[in-house]
Amino acid sequence: MIPSLLRASSLFKRSFATFTTPLKATMPASLFESKRPASSPEYDPSTLSNYQHFNVLHTDLDYRVDWPKRKLFGTVVYKLTLKANKAPEQVVLDTSFLDIHEAKINGQSVKFNADTERVEPLGNTVTVDLDAAAATAEFDLTLSFNTTDKVTALQWLEPEQTASKKAPYLFSQCQAIHARSLYPCFDTPSVKTPIHTKIASVYPTVASGNVVPAQESQEEYATTDTIYEFQQEIPIPSYLFAIASGDLTSLPIGPRSKVYSEPPNIDACQYEFEADTEKFLEAAESIVFPYEWKTYNVLVLPPSFPYGGMENPNITFATPTLISGDRQNVDVIAHELAHSWSGNLVTNCSWEHFWLNEGWTVYLERRIIGAIHGEAHRHFSAIIGWKDLQTAIEVMSPAVREQYSRLVVHLKERQDPDDAFSSVPYEKGSSLLFHLENVLGGKAVFDPFIPYYFGKFKKRSLDTYQFRDTLYEFFADKKDILDTVDWDTWFYAPGMPPVKLNFDTSLADVCYKLADKWVAAIKAAPAGGADEAYFRGLFSADDIAGWTSTQYVVLLDSLADSTTESAATTAAVRTLGDVYQFASSSNPEVISRWYTLAVPAHLGPATYQALADWLGTVGRMKFVRPGFRLLVKVDRDLAVATFRKHEAFYHPICRSMVAKDLGL
């Protein structure tokens, strides 16, 4: 998943100064060893299920979409066996806001209890009694259920909220612990299972898995419904199950890839992705090993989708903010594609070890970019990511920083994994891997470890302890080097990484130079006489001719970090927006950074209203949350009114997080 990053301010100037946490001195000699569990992978504290007692051999899901009621009616069938030395009397599954109708063991109805008392934020349980016969061999567990209007995994859109305006639309978002509101499950990344899915809907439908050819039989469903069938042969965890249905069509974007979207947008979506998708696939395969999921498809969702992308196997869900017409934001696809190995094939065992998913994915994403565009582009992305990390940590409250700026977080007191979500697992995790690559001797030395690691844990879930053990196992001849890595600080200390990372700044230097020129002009402005005419005499659109949108972002971030409140700054920022046309950009990465500069520069109520209007058109949390944080500082009434006006448009996850940000 691409994170809902907090505001990325400027790239700090060239030095990339070392940040060392003051907590290091208080740590025991080996915090890593003291925290190591008795056996790995570590138990997942974010589930109420008794998953540790069972092997889940296969899952069958069968849904009917009831559009008038805005509900899914379904059954789930698990093929289970007991793990060695386990003899539970019950199966306990996670649920959340589901109505459970019936439970069966091997086709026979059995007693069950759907607990109505919620354990926040983890939801409810459904408990199914096991008889001795069922518990001694492989058995099928079947539950029938329906969703309710409170489920957090689904968003239902009315036709007027879509691009085509012709049909309603629904889509799911299960990460981190929302699958339990879509079907009763062992909702933990520690459980991975092949899934066969049937969905009956009157509208075109996609789901995680490869499409099974249309079946002739429709006897179980209303004749107005079409059955859509998907087979996911590779075991996946519950958070990677996905469904979307609405007015959908598709076009090819590569020999093994399609893009899906609503018909009015399909040509633009095809244009955005068709030049790069197969290149990304081939580059990733050269770094790890061949792609195992057969197809790689992308669904471009309506604007309320809260993330940049979600790596649902065979059907990446993507934000429409990627469709900028200039192919400047397609690196998100490189990220989601990299998840095919890191996260989907090899998975963190719990959300405490989320960095294993996202740190590896960011590392691989940048390796893909480097393979296609050159190492300077890889480093340019890493520079931006480092500053994203620094800014995210800076804006955290002290309590949040202490708890959630660690690489391995603590969720054992029933914390909501969504609250731990930030750029930390992404950027701090990828920084560790970049550091390891360099201290071990560079890409030529580190690269053979990549397929070894993913091959060893393929189709499995692991924790941080297994990762480090595997590193020592593979690099047994470099133990002395690995022993120099400050593992305790990397894994458990809050704050920035404990080392200085050296990046190639060649692509960023031109951005720094222009930013410095603007700052110098502001400082040299005549006292009381600085106006737009003064700055127009010094700058022109030729300054950024040939630049990429990413370089625009770096310029804006640098200025946001380097300017202070003054009349000259206000005049300069207003001029910059007009001369470089940032104020009218159609690229959301650019326009969001523009507001990051313009709002603190006090451009006035018209700018604040423009930001409020823009926030009503995007649902991606990367833009929505920082936008509201900016707006509330200058006009709280406008910020709250804007949120109330558009809260039904936002996805439930986004809605909840923004409400917290605004203190509502």
CA–CA separation, 384 and 386 (whole Å): 5
173 annotated as ligand-binding = yes
306 annotated as ligand-binding = yes
Whether residue 227 contacts residue 218, with contact meaning beta carbons closer than 8 Å, is answered with yes
DSSP H helices, 28-90, are 31-35
Q: Exactly one of 78, 426, 453, 534 is catalytic; name it.
A: 426
622 annotated as ligand-binding = yes
Query: Is 426 designated active site?
Result: yes
φ and ψ at residue 140, rounded to 5 degrees: -100, 130
657 annotated as ligand-binding = no
620 annotated as ligand-binding = yes
Element (H, E) at 243: strand 243-245
310 annotated as ligand-binding = yes
Locus of tokens 């199966």: 91
DSSP H helices, 36-194, are none
CA–CA separation, 664 and 658 (whole Å): 9
Q: Exactly one of 42, 229, 336, 365 is catalytic; name it.
A: 336
With 0-12 CB in 10 A as exposed, 13-18 as middle and 19+ as buried, what is 368? Answer: buried
Whether residue 449 contacts residue 471, with contact meaning beta carbons closer than 8 Å, is answered with yes
Whether residue 470 contacts residue 9, with contact meaning beta carbons closer than 8 Å, is answered with no
With 0-12 CB in 10 A as exposed, 13-18 as middle and 19+ as buried, what is 79? Answer: middle
φ and ψ at residue 198, rounded to 5 degrees: -120, 135
468 annotated as ligand-binding = no
DSSP tag of 24 = G
CA–CA separation, 314 and 241 (whole Å): 10
Q: What angle (nearest 5°) sits at the alpha carbon of residue 111, between those of residues 106 and 116?
A: 125
Residue 177 CB contacts under 8 Å (≥ 6 apart), including other chains:
46, 47, 94, 121, 122, 123, 187, 239, 351, 416, 417, 418
CA–CA separation, 444 and 509 (whole Å): 28
219 annotated as ligand-binding = no
Number of C-beta neighbours around residue 143 at 10 A: 25
CA 112 to chain centre: 35
Token digits of residue 53:
């007692």
308 annotated as ligand-binding = yes
Residue 282 CB contacts under 8 Å (≥ 6 apart), including other chains:
none
401 annotated as ligand-binding = no
Token digits of residue 51:
């998953």
DSSP tag of 215 = P
Token digits of residue 199:
């969905």
Query: Is 260 designated active site?
Result: no
537 annotated as ligand-binding = no
1 annotated as ligand-binding = no
Q: Residue 323 carries which side chain, given as an amino acid letter?
A: I
175 annotated as ligand-binding = yes
511 annotated as ligand-binding = no
215 annotated as ligand-binding = no
Q: Which residues are annotated as a binding site for Zn(2+)?
A: 335, 339, 358
Binding-site members are 173-175, 306-311, 335, 339, 358, 620-622
Catalytic residues: 336, 426
Q: Which residues are known binding-site members for a peptide?
A: 173-175, 306-311, 620-622
